[in-house]
Amino acid sequence: MTDEPTDLPRAGTDDAAADTAARHPGTDGHPATEPGALAGIRVLDLSRFIAGPLCAQILGDMGAEVIKLERPGGEDARKHAPFHRGESVYTMVYNRNKRGITLDTRHPDALGLLEDLVRHSDVVVENYRPGTMEKMGLSYDRLRELRPDITLVSISGFGQTGPDRQRALFDAVAQAASGLMSLTGSPEGEPTLTGTYVADYVAGFHGAMGALLALLHRERTGEGQHVDVGSLDALFAMLGTRPSAYAMLGEQPRRNGSRDLLTAPASVFPATDGFVYIHAGTDPLFPRLCAVMDRGDLAEDPRFADVPGRMRHVAELEAAVAQWTRPRTCPEIAAALTEAGVPFGKVADLDEVLASPQLAARDMIVDVEHPTLGPLTLPGIPIKLSASPGSIRKAPPTVGEDNETVYRDLLGLSADRLARLRADGAI
């Protein structure tokens, strides 16, 4: 089982980068012209749901070969709505650029197969509850015995240490526990969730960044390491000035609705056909907005002469801006503010977002051809590298789609051994 693959280069070899470009099509169905910054790196993805799969997908977008392991029948996330032609969109969004294999980790043969996969990997990504990898026989110390320079990325709710390390956590729990929920919503209303899984995304981003830093460290020293990311930590770290202001100044933060925390006017304003967010709270921008509105009196009013003054009189100021926006359409407001150089954004529905010329020009809305489902519309890659750009080379895998190529070509299992594993329900 530990023989080197016959037609699949081991991650880290000189031939791996060229092989990656040759084997994988680009987003337009043609071979990728650049192998990607992480070509030659192999990632074993043991994770589920969002944070871990997103972390591994980011590495895959940048050229790494990612092997995603699921239990036979598929992970629980494949049962999450919405569905496109019977397949979970939830699974599609977080699992492109991955080879899909299945393995029952409780099967007697599973540990040996997992250990062989680790030997052939540079990075392992997992988001089990702390202690699970140890119960599986795959502690970090054991991984280092199998591959001394291995990088293990562990993404969990509360991190690998601390009194709450064993508690279960979902995104909404992190939003509540981190303080973010207490800051979100209208001042008069209840604490509110954000409109997406912000904790999972932030944890996934930090996991990917941790993996990259660990790989750079390995490049310099030959040493692997354990990357420990807690969703609560990652979300708390993005609360900006609020925690420090409270700790050092005793400032108790309040929910602010759509209003900017530091400057005014900067909020959502009504139009005849929707809403527009206008940010003209800085000293250079405020006179420009006043000129657009033909309200030179506001620019000259001593109450609004500086940021502190405008914040003290924010209600009166916002009322004046709303009086200007309310009888106008969003396109009329947009044209006037664009000409004046005042930052703004229409509060767009998703149909408008998906039709955005700007996002299209940035390749942020892409169609990826799936072998059984046809074209899938997925978010593009936000990191634009000039010399080694990322690419979407492979649609999200079906359950066990790549069992043959991984178990046979990478681990060297015979056809008879594969047949026995299937018959036993191991894969």
Q: Which residues are catalytic?
A: 200
How many angstroms separate the CA atoms of 359 and 69, rounded? 32
Give the list of residues 6+ apart from residue 323 with CB closer than 8 angstroms, or none. Answer: none
Q: Pinpoint the alpha helices (H) of 25-126.
A: 51-61, 89-93, 110-119
Phi and psi (nearest 5°) for 394? -150, 135
Judge whether 334 and 292 are in contact, CB under 8 Å.
no
Q: Give the count of beta carbons closer than 10 Å to the beta carbon of residue 321.
A: 22
The residue among 413, 422, 405 whose CA lies nearest residue 65 is 405
What is the spatial distance between Cα 380 and Cα 373, in angstroms, rounded to a whole number? Answer: 19
**Does residue 152 contact residue 140 with C-beta atoms inside 8 Å?**
yes
CB 346 within 8 A of CB 330: yes
- Cα(17)–Cα(24) distance, integer angstroms: 11
Omega within 30 of 0 (cis) for the link into 382: no
Spatial separation of the C-alpha atoms in residues 281 and 264, rounded to whole Å? 4
Unique residue bearing structure tokens 């150089």: 341
CA 235 to CA 254: how far, in whole Å?
A: 18
Annotate 375-411 with DSSP letters as a single string.
EEEEE------SSS-----SPPPPTTTTHIIIIIIIT
Distance CA 114, CA 344 (A): 51
Rounded distance between C-alpha atoms, residue 362 and residue 381, angstroms:
9
Helix (H, G, I), strand (E, B) or coil at 236: helix
Count the Cβ atoms, other than its own, within 10 Å of residue 108. 9
